[in-house]
Structure 1
């Protein structure tokens, strides 16, 4: 791979990460620099104090990993240097649309039918970043369509497959970086081995069998373990739910999702929103509750999990919370009425909400394997891949209900009346 490097960044995960001139101009742009002020894991630091890393350093890491993946494919003759450079640019900018506190802001955006990918497209269209991309000979529309989840055909189709495929450079960096900074010991992925066994066979990205199987099994298990230990940890979710509701309830007054212009959005970082919520002058019940939640969060007086139950099937009442987010409010109101508290003092949480950054049950981890015999590469059927781990690594959906500490017992009893008794250990 013959990209011309002009500098390097020392990263605690990947060591030295080199960058090109176009990458330097993007890194130094206002759009990317804003990500230094957005924590990768929102309020996770209240449970894992080391988790203060930012969306900026994650973006640098994704640029590096996708560069390794496309560099491997370039060495095999499937991609050009220009396409490798395109992939690295995508890695840099894929998260520019994240709002304050990263995925937690997604829950507020979802009320308006928006995602951070929508914001990313808007920023690329309206800001100087789009001009930078075009000055380097890339199509603004093509970059947006790949980086923010569109369908791409033609020369960039393979780049898109790498970026959005089951062996995701985004997820790989997420796992190893979040594991390192939380200190949980999961998320250990042998990125080099995975990439070293990657090939294009019969038009599909595939991993060599059996050489890459163990590394892919580790990747799948890491996703599951990080979900359980970090992303959907009871206390982590308590803090993030409080943050999401506070932003949601104050949005009408603070205009967090109005997206008036690029300059306003660039001010929307963690510090801006935290300060706005703490200094909020209540003007109605919801804004008062928003400020109260933020004050509780600042003092680490978190809401408490009073009920937890696995979803047993489509006929289960709680299954509708996973598939239809609007059901959550109705369920909260029913539980609140039974408990004799305000609906705003009951919090139903499910792994399908937008503020969960990684849900193993919601993302495909199926990848093709290939076998090489006598110089001939052949895609294998799923039945030919022998892996006990891949067969057992299944996620069980859980729905939880939280309450203010002072309402813990009455809301717990109300939940059992409305939703049924909790299973042992639930």
Structure 2
């Protein structure tokens, strides 16, 4: 039974149970108020100051709509609905300062993703006691949060982390709303109401293909207009470097308990002002970038390539940090600029971005109630040319530097990338 309500600017009133209220009131959910959903994107889109907290509440709301759809079909019961709502509510508690930006630090130095940290927090904090008190298995919930539960039915994992899941549906609509970019319009209700389960996988009614294609287009356009926006990436790259240089002094990799981790959020980076008198070289570099960031004096893009094909050099550039650093140093030498003045940015995802634990993240089954049995169930890409086309990879390689070095770095980068059979910036 619902005990209270939260007013959300995107979805309206969202009702919560006593169990959910107890979890929401823990420090692990409350800290999400201090973690921006889109990192430094607010310097480009001033409205983008929404947080992981509202996204988590919104994802829980969409999980409720999907649960009701599946309950009407007698596919799940009330306990399954509770589990799905809890998983949606908790799915992002592992995020660190500035959301996915901190994840680069966690992976590099701790070999942990935000999904790993999510599970760690649940099983080592009071959240497990709250979940257990209400008769649910906290380990199952911790796995379901990241779409990897072995005890839950497979389609429940897909509801949290799948081709069309409640997480993606909320963040696309929410990010579009707060950035003011109108590409994110999706008929969420129609999509969720058209879902069923086939062979333990989520499937969508063929009558809703147009709504599904709109979802695919929205994802593609939002990545181009917001997530991969040149200036957004500049701000985010600076934040990543600041956290990397100052990680020891900010405690970004030295926590040992969930409570210690809960003290890390966006405001932690504001502690940089305490390092003005420090003489450590890494802190000096962090403070330089931090002061520029505060004044919105961002790094400038000197070189850019959009890559739509697979290529050995590109693959290595995206996966090997050592190679990126070697090329950065080569550019610095050739451009005659100081060390640590060149930054290669290589965000990469398919145009409909993949989920880490899916074999084929682009596919979802389509069912046609009116078709013959052998034609009733088809993969989306086999019935939608648009979906098939959007399987192409969208890789972006950019080289950033300080404004005063832009022309020298641009020239040097063009020459160096030419050695790898690339044109002087542009598309491949």
After superposition, the Cα gap between the structure-2 partners of 1:261 and 1:406, relative to the gap in structure 1 and judged at 3 Å, is same
* Contact 1:44-1:51 within 8 A present in 2 as well: yes
Deviation at 1:387, TM superposition (A): 2.4
SS at match of 1:131: helix
Q: Tell me what 1:69 maps to.
A: 66
List aligned pairs for 1:111-122, cutoff 5 A: 111-112=108-109, 113-122=111-120
TM-score, length-scaled by structure 1: 0.92
**CA distance in structure 2 between the aligned counterparts of 1:169 and 1:389, rounded to whole angstroms:** 22
Q: Give 1:283 deviation, angstroms.
A: 3.2
- Equivalent positions of 1:160-199 (< 5 A) are 160-199=157-196
Distance across 2 between alignment mates of 1:424 and 1:119: 38
Residue aligning to 2:317: 321
Which stretch shifts more, 308-317 or 253-262?
A: 308-317
Which deviates more, 319-328 or 79-88? Answer: 319-328
C-alpha contact 2:301 2:400 (8 A) present in aligned 1:
yes
- CA, structure 1 residues 383+37, in 2 after alignment: closer, same or farther (shift >3 Å)? closer
Q: CA 1:6/1:361 → structure 2, altered by over 3 Å: closer, same or farther?
A: closer
Question: In structure 2, how many angstroms separate the alpha carbons of the residues matched to 1:383 and 1:79?
Answer: 24
1:232 equivalent in structure 2: 228
CA distance in 2, matches of 1:224, 1:243: 24
Q: 2:397 aligns with which of 377, 396, 399?
A: 399
> What residue number does 1:360 align with?
352
2:295 equivalent to 1:299:
yes
Structure 1 pair 359/129, CA: closer, same or farther in 2 (3 Å)?
farther
Partner of residue 422, structure 1: 424
* CA apart distance, 1:258: 1.3
Structure 2 residue runs without a partner (length 5+): 356-360
Deviations 1:124-182 (A, max 9, x none): 122111111111111121111111343423x4433223222211110100000000000
1:222–1:308 CA distance, 2 compared to 1 (3 A)? same
- Whether 1:288 and 2:284 are equivalent positions in the alignment is yes
Pick aligned residue for 1:255 from 218, 243, 251: 251
Aligned: 1:50 with 2:81:
no
Number of equivalent positions: 416
Cα RMSD (Å)? 2.2
Q: Render the CA deviation track for 1:254-284: whole Å, top value 9, x for unaligned.
A: 22111233332222111122x2123224332
Counterpart in 1 of 2:408?
410
What secondary structure, in the 3-state scheme, does the structure 2 residue paired with 1:222 have? helix
SS at match of 2:13: strand
Alignment of 1:185-224 (within 5 A): 185-209=182-206, 211-224=207-220
